[in-house]
């Protein structure tokens, strides 16, 4: 902890030299605070469970000796502050505890499952961006200044309906049509490239719908900005005005929402993984909750939370690079 | 307070009714009503059928007898689906209720307790909001145990942070309002203020958000139950049915699809209804003109009216720009609005002409129309528009684009907004030369540095690498002018170039424009509401009123030889060193003509001391009075140039206009 505070302090002194360093330092400082809240929350999880978590996990018929042994192994007999200290110590060393059902280290369980989830969320986000940026930008250009009202209405209502369908229901629908009826893709599992299509698409579509609406709205407001008029006064060709002058400005705001979506997607994997029996963290956390394997749940929640925090940090930094004003604004 | 409360309630009822009248509002309200009715009635009516076990009809597909099929115990899935509405909706509403209550408390705490605790709560809420709801729900599901109660608490607590954030924002906005400040001064305590004054005013947006939130909770519940973390058998909601149906999606897909569809429809009903009401709350009209995005509108040619001649032929031979019968109009709610109504003039090489007039007189639209930058849905017509001898009314061509790009420069009013914030100044300057002058990037940047030096921006090379926000306002306007002279401009149109700058910087920018004009023989069209400023820089002045040029005179004549009463009134409104500062500043009495409803006859008549019947009947044309002096007035007479003596009588109509 002291290393972290020292680091933050150093970074803050640097801030006086360059706004960029100060900006990054503040963001990392925020990450550290959030991380601490997250770690503490995941530590308290077991302690907040009413009654004895070990008895809850092992069942009422479990012999007293076994329960006592488990309590000892989990360190639940130590005073709370000591447990907290041990927990933090373990985390620094990469030790997330031991699964109560499989006796494997939690870190190993997560390490085995993380890549599958990472792939799913990453590919889905990529697909959502690849769909929404061109579609949204095109829609913005086509419907700017209130023209093509019908196109706008069709686009808006379609995107609202698509966005309203939760990923896992979309997944069920897609499985029915493309796997059961048409047989193009496997119903479940993670094997060849074809098995990625349905999970990735079902996660990406809703986000793509929301994101493309945001891109369109941002594009509209940017196209109405004074600096776009300046670009037109320079008689630049339209493609230059749209791609060089308008799009980067439209994307800065999109990126903020996109980041929120990526973190929502991290959670969305949980449901979609269960539809497709995808061997990722999502199916692990559900089975662990049902099996009351608390150390695993604790570890997975921590990993998910860290993922969300990192995504937010990356978005903030990317935003700072795209729009140089955002680094200055806060100081 | 009670009156304001009832007023608020009445307004709320009116708005919700208004939402019902929109197509989306009506459909979603009907959907929502059916879902809610079904939720209440279905469990009472059909619980028996839904739970009747029939071992002879296990896992059947859809049939006339069982429209959705049967489950593994032979129970009719259609009835189960209907009955499940009750539990699904009940749980969603319960979770939303918890979310709203916890959120309200968390959101109100910062305004009730000490500042430090408040900050702590706010920080906590901010962190919690950043985490996806489902993740929080699973976290809480662990703590509260797997099952119905646990899931309700879990989803409730998971939605709380966003409600807390909303409450905080709403309270913060309300607290700044006058009546809250008054209540504070009157000694009303914090809790009292919150409950009696603030809460009633933020109730509506909260209810609307809660409606949308109920839809999301419904979906979240379906998710948890589907994962097996929500409703446990033998109880069942839609998520549970989906969970059971998905195992056999190969055999009878309806068992999985039907509950999925039910969830989507019910979720949509809540969401759409909430959105429809939310729209009536803020009710910003989507295209209120301001948000309208630009479009290049090409001026179209119209027949020339014979009696309006732009200017003398001697001037035309060296004209940089010639325009006749320029009209600009926009569609308005009550017929077209015409900010420019027949402007004709021409600009000679190296001539500096000022365009003056009150705001709304059509100066800026004239400038934009000349530059062919009028924004959609505006339309531009003219009988003649020529730039450097090139007709601008025909369709655009690359050659025309290049000519305009290199020879027609624009300087806009607000240098803060006129540069692209995400591009370096150098890039923005260089692209003109790269595009139109065939330079490569390095040459173009060298030219840009040279141009920045020409507009006296120090450390030009370093400045090129900077972003607009690193420039001061005056420096930005210099850079904007520098961008204009990247090519070889024959004309610089400057629309209020110094309005956004402070006085000392104003002078520098004006001097810069004059220098460029002198050194390069560039014509300047300077748009301004400031007569003094125009007099300093320009040789000729065009006075605009209600979309027309009412007087065109040499700048030297401005002070003492103006002929139009409007010009004289504008002059009278200019304060100088001798102005008595104990008197209120002189203004042009009355209101400018409304461009959507320009009166017949002379548009200035209602404000004019010399107006008579003729003026209100017939519109005066801009005619030559003496060499280089045109005026559109039935009673042109020389002003004395003495400010005090120009005293305008206020016509009754104008007075009424002022009062209303």
DSSP B90-143: HHHHHHHHHHHHHHHHHHHHHHHS-HHHHHHHHHHHHHHHHS-HHHHHHHHHHH
Burial of B120 (0-12, 13-18, 19+ CB in 10 A): middle
d(CA B427, CA A187): 52
Direct distance between the N- and C-terminal alpha carbons of chain B, in angstroms, rounded to an integer: 30
Name the band, by pLDDT with cuts 50, 70 and 90, for residue B626.
confident
Name the band, by pLDDT with cuts 50, 70 and 90, for residue B17.
confident
Q: Is B122 on the interface with A (CB under 8 A)?
A: no
At A230-252, the pLDDT tens digits run 998 988 888 888 888 888 888 87
Cβ contacts of residue B156 below 8 Å, gap of 6+? Answer: B94, B95, B96, B97, B98, B99, B102
Mean pLDDT on A201-226: 88
The percentage of chain B sitting over the pLDDT mark of 90, rounded to a whole number, equals 12
Classify A130 as helix, strand or coil: helix
d(CA A128, CA A206): 8
What b/e sequence results for B385-411 when a residue is b if at least 16 CB atoms lie within 10 Å of its CB, and e otherwise? bbbbeeebbeeeeeebebbbbbbbbbb
Name the band, by pLDDT with cuts 50, 70 and 90, for residue B2.
very low
**β-strand B629-631 against B548-554: which pairing, if any?**
antiparallel
d(CA B179, CA B186): 10
At B109-165, the pLDDT tens digits run 877 777 788 788 887 787 777 777 777 777 777 788 778 888 888 888 888 888 888
Cβ contacts of residue A5 below 8 Å, gap of 6+? Answer: none
Instruction: Enumerate domains of chain B plus CATH numbers.
Output: 2-281 (1.10.3720.10), 299-498 (3.40.50.300), 546-660 (3.40.50.300)
DSSP B566-627: HHHHHHHT---TTS-TTSPPP---S-PPPTTSPPSS-TTGGG-TT--HHHHHSPPP-EEEET
In A40-196, the DSSP E strands lie at none
At A312-324, the pLDDT tens digits run 888 778 777 766 6
Minimum-distance CB partner of A233 among B371, B402, B423: B371
Encoded tokens for B494? 């400057």
- pLDDT exceeds 60 at position B305: no
Dihedral over Cα of B604, B607, B609, B614: its sign: positive
For tokens 């259609």, what's the residue? B78
Cβ contacts of residue B652 below 8 Å, gap of 6+? Answer: none
In degrees and rounded to multiples of 5, residue B546 shows phi and psi of: 50, 45
- pLDDT exceeds 50 at position B593: yes
- pLDDT exceeds 80 at position A284: yes
- pLDDT exceeds 90 at position B491: yes
pLDDT of residue B576: 66
The nearest CA of chain A is from the CA of B284 a distance in Å of 14
d(CA B453, CA B505): 17
- pLDDT exceeds 80 at position B258: yes
Residues 429-468 of B with CB under 8 A from A: 431-432, 435-436, 467
Please list the helix, strand and coil fractions of chain A in percent, rounded to the nearest 5, in that order.
80, 0, 20
At B507-537, the pLDDT tens digits run 888 888 898 888 888 999 999 888 888 888 8
Minimum-distance CB partner of B293 among A37, A48, A224: A224
* pTM, two decimal places: 0.75
Instruction: List beta partners, residue B409.
Output: B492
**A84 compared with A6, residue with greater pLDDT:** A84
- pLDDT exceeds 80 at position A119: yes
Q: Is B404 on the interface with A (CB under 8 A)?
A: yes
Dihedral over Cα of B76, B78, B80, B83: its sign: negative
Residues 49-88 of B with CB under 8 A from A: none
Rounded to 5 degrees, what angle do the CA atoms B318, B322, B326 make?
A: 170
The percentage of chain A sitting over the pLDDT mark of 90, rounded to a whole number, equals 5
**Interface contact flag, B412 A49, Cβ < 8 Å:** no
At B319-364, the pLDDT tens digits run 899 999 999 988 887 788 888 988 999 999 999 999 998 888 888 8
Rounded (10°) angle between helices A281-291 and B133-144: 20
**B196 compared with B241, residue with greater pLDDT:** B241
d(CA B83, CA B480): 69
pLDDT mean across residues, chain A: 80
Q: Which residues of B touch A229 (CB under 8 A)?
A: 294, 373, 375, 412, 418
ipTM over 0.85: no
**Interface contact flag, A228 B410, Cβ < 8 Å:** no
């Amino acid at each position: 902890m002291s290393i972290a505070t020292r680091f933050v302090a150093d970074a803050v002194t640097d801030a006086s030299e360059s706004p960029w360093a100060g900006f990054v330092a503040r963001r990392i400082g925020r990450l550290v605070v959030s991380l601490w809240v997250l770690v503490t929350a995941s530590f308290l999880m077991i302690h907040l469970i009413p009654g004895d978590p070990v008895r809850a996990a092992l069942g009422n018929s479990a012999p007293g000796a076994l329960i006592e042994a488990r309590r000892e192994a989990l360190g639940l007999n130590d005073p709370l502050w000591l447990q907290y200290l041990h927990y933090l110590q373990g985390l620094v060393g990469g030790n997330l505890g031991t699964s109560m059902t499989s006796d494997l280290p939690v870190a190993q369980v997560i390490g085995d499952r993380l890549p599958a989830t990472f792939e799913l969320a990453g590919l889905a986000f990529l697909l959502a961006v690849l769909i929404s940026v061109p579609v949204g930008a095109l829609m913005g250009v086509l419907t700017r200044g209130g023209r093509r009202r019908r196109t706008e209405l069709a686009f808006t209502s379609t995107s609202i309906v698509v966005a309203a369908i939760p990923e896992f229901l979309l997944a069920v629908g897609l499985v029915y049509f493309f796997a059961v009826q048409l047989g193009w893709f496997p119903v479940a599992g993670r094997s060849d490239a074809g098995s990625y299509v349905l999970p990735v698409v079902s996660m990406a579509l809703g986000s793509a719908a929301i994101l493309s609406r945001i891109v369109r709205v941002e594009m509209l407001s940017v196209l109405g900005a004074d600096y776009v008029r300046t670009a037109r006064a320079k008689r630049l060709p339209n493609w230059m005005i749209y791609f060089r002058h308008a799009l980067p400005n439209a994307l800065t705001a999109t990126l903020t929402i996109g980041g929120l979506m990526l973190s929502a997607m991290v959670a969305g994997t949980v449901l979609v993984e269960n539809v497709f029996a995808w061997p990722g963290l999502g199916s692990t956390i559900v089975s662990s909750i049902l099996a009351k394997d608390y150390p695993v749940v604790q570890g997975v929640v921590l990993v998910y939370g860290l993922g969300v925090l990192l995504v937010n940090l990356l978005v903030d930094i990317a935003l700072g690079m795209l729009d140089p004003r955002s680094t200055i604004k806060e100081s | 307070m009670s009156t304001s409360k009832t007023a608020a309630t009445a307004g709320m009822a009116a708005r919700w009714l208004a939402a019902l009248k929109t197509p989306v509002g009506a459909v979603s309200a009907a959907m929502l009503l059916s879902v809610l009715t079904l939720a209440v009635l279905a469990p009472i009516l059909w619980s028996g059928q839904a739970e009747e076990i029939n071992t002879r009809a296990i896992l059947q597909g859809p049939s006339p007898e069982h429209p959705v099929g049967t489950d593994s115990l032979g129970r009719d899935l259609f009835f189960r689906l209907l009955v499940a509405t009750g539990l699904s909706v009940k749980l969603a509403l319960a979770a939303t209720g918890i979310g709203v209550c916890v959120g309200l408390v968390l959101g109100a705490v910062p305004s009730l307790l000490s500042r430090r605790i408040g900050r702590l709560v706010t920080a906590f809420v901010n962190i919690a909001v950043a985490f996806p709801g489902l993740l929080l729900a699973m976290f809480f599901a662990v703590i509260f145990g797997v099952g119905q109660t646990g899931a309700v608490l879990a989803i409730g607590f998971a939605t709380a942070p966003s409600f807390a954030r909303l409450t905080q924002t709403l309270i913060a906005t309300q607290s700044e309002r006058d009546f809250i400040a008054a209540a504070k001064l009157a000694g009303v305590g914090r809790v009292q203020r919150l409950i009696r004054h603030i809460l009633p005013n933020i109730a509506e947006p909260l209810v609307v958000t809660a409606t949308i939130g109920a839809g999301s909770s419904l979906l979240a519940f379906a998710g948890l139950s589907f994962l097996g973390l929500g409703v446990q058998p033998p109880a069942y909601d839609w998520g549970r049915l989906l969970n059971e149906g998905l195992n056999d999606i190969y055999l009878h897909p309806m068992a999985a699809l039907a509950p999925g569809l039910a969830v989507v429809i019910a979720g949509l009903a809540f969401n759409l209804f909430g959105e429809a009401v939310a729209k009536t709350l803020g009710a910003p009209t989507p295209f209120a003109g301001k948000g309208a995005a630009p479009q290049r509108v090409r001026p179209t040619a119209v027949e020339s009216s014979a009696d309006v001649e732009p200017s003398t032929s001697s001037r035309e031979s060296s004209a940089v720009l010639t325009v006749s019968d320029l009209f600009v109009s926009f569609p308005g709610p009550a017929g077209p609005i015409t900010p420019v109504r027949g402007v004709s003039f021409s600009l000679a090489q190296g001539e500096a002409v000022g365009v003056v007039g009150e705001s709304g007189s059509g100066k800026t639209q004239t400038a934009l129309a000349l530059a062919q930058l009028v924004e959609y849905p505006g339309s531009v017509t003219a009988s003649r528009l020529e730039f450097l001898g090139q007709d601008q009314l025909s369709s655009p061509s690359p050659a025309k684009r290049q000519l305009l790009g290199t020879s027609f420069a624009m300087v806009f009013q607000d240098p803060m907004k006129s540069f692209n914030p995400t591009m370096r100044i150098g890039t923005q300057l260089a692209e003109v030369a790269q595009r139109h002058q065939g330079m490569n990037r390095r040459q173009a940047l060298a030219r840009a540095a040279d141009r920045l030096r020409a507009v006296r921006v120090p450390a030009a090379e370093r400045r090129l690498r900077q972003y607009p926000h690193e420039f001061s306002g005056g420096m930005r306007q210099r850079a904007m002018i520098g961008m204009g002279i990247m090519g070889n401009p024959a004309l610089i149109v400057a629309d209020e170039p110094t309005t956004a700058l402070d006085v000392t910087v104003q002078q520098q920018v004006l001097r810069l424009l004059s220098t460029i004009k002198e050194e390069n023989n560039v014509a300047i069209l300077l748009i301004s509401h400031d007569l003094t400023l125009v007099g300093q820089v320009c040789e000729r002045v065009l006075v605009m009123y209600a979309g027309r040029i009412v007087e065109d005179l040499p700048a030297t004549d401005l002070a003492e030889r103006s002929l139009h009463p409007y010009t004289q009134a504008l002059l009278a409104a200019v304060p100088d060193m001798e102005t008595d500062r104990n008197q209120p500043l002189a203004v042009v009495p009355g209101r400018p003509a409304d461009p959507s409803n320009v009166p017949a006859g002379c548009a200035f008549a209602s404000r004019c001391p010399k107006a008579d019947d003729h003026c209100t009947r017939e519109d005066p044309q801009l005619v030559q009075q003496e060499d280089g002096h045109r005026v559109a007035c039935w009673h042109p007479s020389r002003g004395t140039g003495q400010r005090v003596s120009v005293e305008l009588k206020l016509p009754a109509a104008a007075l009424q206009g002022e009062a209303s």
